[in-house]
């Protein structure tokens, strides 16, 4: 396994895509274990990795997010966020955070948050007199809310790989998503007082507030439909994703009329590209996961880690440390697909609830989206703001501290994640 780790790192460093890295290593391991006869199993395992009904929700969620962006629903969301918190000291900074929390209910992706909200938020904050470094750092920090609050793509991946309930993992993410939103707003409150950030001087009349709320209500009903349908048993997670696409099409084309038929092909193309990337990794990772299961590698790792720390909390903190390092050098989705088959059995053997572990694992890897040297959200924000990565990282220091506190709370207080699914009767 040490040799595998070295080869994996070398292939990643020379720029080979993660799907091909996992595939090459899997084929090598299978050939080494059983010769050419084992290679005959590769196509079967590749197909098995994609022959899962649950993951069919992923392209539909990608498409729903693309259609929602094309229908300009983001403008309504930003206006609602401004109406709610824009009057506070540092109002636009609060709008940045609340806007990400609201948009997360439609996007399921941190990068989608940066791509759609990033340029709007950073430009608006700079015009209002905020330091550009702070505006960019806050945009990066708040973007990861998009990967937490359902419908979250990374949580959908974990549910598929670890074979846990999608409804349970979605419910388990709601309180952590709100907790991170609150922690970021507390930092903004502190910095707003320290640096005397501006606030919105104009008042919004009750009539204007009602109009803004009504305009934003239709887009924000989508997560209610998704979670409500799944929880009530009306449809599965995959069917819920398809319903979300139909809902966005109806409100975009016929109710709000902000989506054009000419926008749909571009949305389909972008959703298809993102889906193909994820599915390639899923397919090759299934070969790798089948091999490590055959070799009983998770059992051996579990024995080793449990020998180091028999207490579930200490074990979880050790795993978080490993995942923080992994998240720095790998994309969060790819890292989850590769690492979950190894670490999820370890966590369960150590007495950790699989839903709780899924939340901790996914959100630890999501933090890696904001950390160098890979940090996709950092690079996306750098391209929008025209700042250097190093400059953004320095401005991110208070938010890195918040992320550490957030992960510690998740690890030390399991009920933050488990209270809602337990109340709903989805877990014991």
Q: Which of 92, 98, 122 is nearest to 395 (CA)?
A: 122
Environment class of residue 10 by beta-carbon count within 10 Å: exposed (0-12), middle (13-18) or buried (19+)? Answer: exposed
pTM of the predicted model as reported, rounded to 2 decimal places: 0.82
How many other CB atoms are found less than 10 A from the CB of residue 28?
13
Which helix or strand (DSSP H or E) is residue 12 part of? helix 2-13
In the structure, what pLDDT confidence band is assigned to residue 268 with cuts at 50, 70 and 90?
Answer: very high
Q: Considering just the CA atoms, what is the radius of gyration of the chain in Å? A: 22
Higher pLDDT, 414 or 338: 414
Only one residue has tokens 């207080």, namely: 413
d(Cα 390, Cα 252) in Å, to the nearest integer? 40
378-412 pLDDT, tens digit each: 877 888 888 888 899 899 999 999 999 999 999 99
Share of the chain above pLDDT 70, in %: 96
Cβ atoms 151, 108 nearer than 8 A: yes
DSSP string, 87-103: TSTTHHHHHHHHHHHHH
**Residue 36: which pLDDT band, with cuts at 50, 70 and 90?**
low
| DSSP secondary structure, 281-322, as one string | HHHHHHHHHHHHHHTTHHHHHHHHHHHH--SHHHHHHHHHHH
CA pseudo-torsion sign 390, 392, 397, 400: negative
Predicted local distance difference test score (pLDDT) of residue 35? 66
pLDDT recorded at residue 369: 82
Q: pLDDT band for 103, please (50, 70, 90 cuts).
A: confident
Q: 225 with 237: CB under 8 angstroms?
A: no
Contact call for residues 358 and 162 (beta carbons, < 8 A): yes
Q: Is residue 195 classed as helix, strand or coil in its secondary structure?
A: helix
> Residue 123, Cβ neighbours under 10 Å: how many?
14
CB 281 within 8 A of CB 333: yes
Q: How far is residue 300's CA from residue 172's CA, in Å, rounded to a whole number?
A: 29
Asked if residue 340 lies in contact with residue 162, where contact means CB atoms within 8 angstroms, the answer is: yes
């Amino acid at each position: 396994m040490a040799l595998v780790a070295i080869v994996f790192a070398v292939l990643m460093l020379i720029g080979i895509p993660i799907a091909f890295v996992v595939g090459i290593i899997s084929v090598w391991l299978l050939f080494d274990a059983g010769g050419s006869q084992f290679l005959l199993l590769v196509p079967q395992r590749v197909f098995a990795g994609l022959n899962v009904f649950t993951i069919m929700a992923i392209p539909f969620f990608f498409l729903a997010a693309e259609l929602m962006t094309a229908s300009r629903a983001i403008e309504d969301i930003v206006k609602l966020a401004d109406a709610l918190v824009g009057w506070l000291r540092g109002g636009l900074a609060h709008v940045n955070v609340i806007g990400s929390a609201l948009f997360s209910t439609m996007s399921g992706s941190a990068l989608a948050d940066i791509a759609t909200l990033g340029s709007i938020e950073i430009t608006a904050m700079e015009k209002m007199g905020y330091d550009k470094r702070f505006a960019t750092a806050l945009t990066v920090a708040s973007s990861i809310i998009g990967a937490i609050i359902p419908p979250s793509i990374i949580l959908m991946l974990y549910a598929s790989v670890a074979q846990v309930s999608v409804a349970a993992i979605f419910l388990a993410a709601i309180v952590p998503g709100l907790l991170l939103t609150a922690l970021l707003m507390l930092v903004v409150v502190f910095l707003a007082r320290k640096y005397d950030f501006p606030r919105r001087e104009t008042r919004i009349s009750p009539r204007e507030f009602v109009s803004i709320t009504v305009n934003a209500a239709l887009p924000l009903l989508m997560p209610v439909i998704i979670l409500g349908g799944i929880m009530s048993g009306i449809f599965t997670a995959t069917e819920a994703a398809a319903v979300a696409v139909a809902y966005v099409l109806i409100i975009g084309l016929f109710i709000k009329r902000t989506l054009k038929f000419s926008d749909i092909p571009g949305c389909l193309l972008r959703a298809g590209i993102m889906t193909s990337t994820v599915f390639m990794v899923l397919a090759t990772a299934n070969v790798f996961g089948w091999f490590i299961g055959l070799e009983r590698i998770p059992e051996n790792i579990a024995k080793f880690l449990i020998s180091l720390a028999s207490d579930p909390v200490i074990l979880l903190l050790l795993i978080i440390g490993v995942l923080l390092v992994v998240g720095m050098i790998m994309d969060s989705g790819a890292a989850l697909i590769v690492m979950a088959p190894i670490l999820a059995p370890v966590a369960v053997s150590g007495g950790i609830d699989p839903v709780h572990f899924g939340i901790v694992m996914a959100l630890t890897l999501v933090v890696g989206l904001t950390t160098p040297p890979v940090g996709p959200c950092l690079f996306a924000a750098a391209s929008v703001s025209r700042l250097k990565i190093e400059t953004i990282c320095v401005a991110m220091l208070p938010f890195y501290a918040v992320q550490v506190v957030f992960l510690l709370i998740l690890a030390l207080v399991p009920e933050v994640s488990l209270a809602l699914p337990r109340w709903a009767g989805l877990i014991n």
